[in-house]
Copies of this chain bind each other. A is one copy, B any other.
């Protein structure tokens, strides 16, 4: 299948997600920030800020290609001189501490040595809402099972392992699914992997709506807001210290503003902060571990 077909589908997914999110938000509009990469390709970053629901976020599309530097080839562990990559990347931070931060990424990568898909969606609540976390995983499992009963059992623990802060010994949130370097095989040809990756992209906006709707109008005060900011500090730590995409992007001269669009509007740190035992904040921390069976 043609690269251009994949890139066109990803562009369409970006568009569709932005329209659905504008409707969900009610007042905010995505801004268009197109950019070009001098070595080849470019992208369309679509930041959003100061909405009714969404405080800060973005839905980014990119399609980049050209020579693969030695450094990038090493970081990717591939032996190739050229590459082609296209993807959609999303992070949304809501105003309300009750509404989780959500992240989605779908990507396609190609070199003369091979081609693969990657993707995933994961959820980071400041306050765990059990019903919401269960529903989130159930919906992810459904789209996995439609393609392969083996996907969710592989991609759910993959998210647990990926979205993990070793220096805090906690997961970033309640996880979701994550997969990378899914190559065409006898079980799943290129069309099938492409189809699954589009399923992930197309699920994103409705799923976010389903997570948000029961939580968005809940009242909150300064104590909840403070806890949200501390949890956002952890989000920043994950993205800047551990996230492979962020590190790879910054190290290989990617577009800084698009890469760091994942950061929240505000984040806080306190020395050795611990929530009061038995509080909803402390309760949330008990769920931030690998291996929880949400479905």
User: Footprint of B on A, CB under 8 Å?
Assistant: 33, 45, 47, 49, 56, 58, 166-168, 229, 233, 236-237, 240-241, 247, 250, 256-257, 259-261, 263-272
Complex alpha-carbon distance, A233 and B47, angstroms: 18
The verdict on A256 contacting B167 (CB below 8 Å), with A261-B271, A266-B229 known, is yes
- 29 pairs across A/B with beta carbons < 8 Å? A33-B271, A45-B271, A47-B271, A49-B270, A56-B269, A56-B270, A167-B256, A167-B259, A168-B256, A229-B266, A233-B263, A236-B236, A236-B240, A236-B267, A237-B240, A240-B241, A241-B241, A241-B247, A241-B250, A257-B271, A257-B272, A263-B269, A264-B269, A265-B268, A265-B269, A265-B270, A266-B266, A266-B268, A267-B268
Question: Nearest B residue to A168 by beta-carbon distance?
Answer: B256
Interface of A is mostly: mixed
Chain B: minimal CB distance from A49 (Å): 7
Looking at the assembled complex, report how far the CB atom of A16 sits from the nearest CB atom of chain B, in whole angstroms: 22
Question: How close is A111's CB to chain B, nearest CB, in angstroms?
Answer: 25
Interchain CA distance A264-B233 in the complex, whole Å: 10
Interface centre among A45, A257, A272 (most CB of B within 10 A): A272
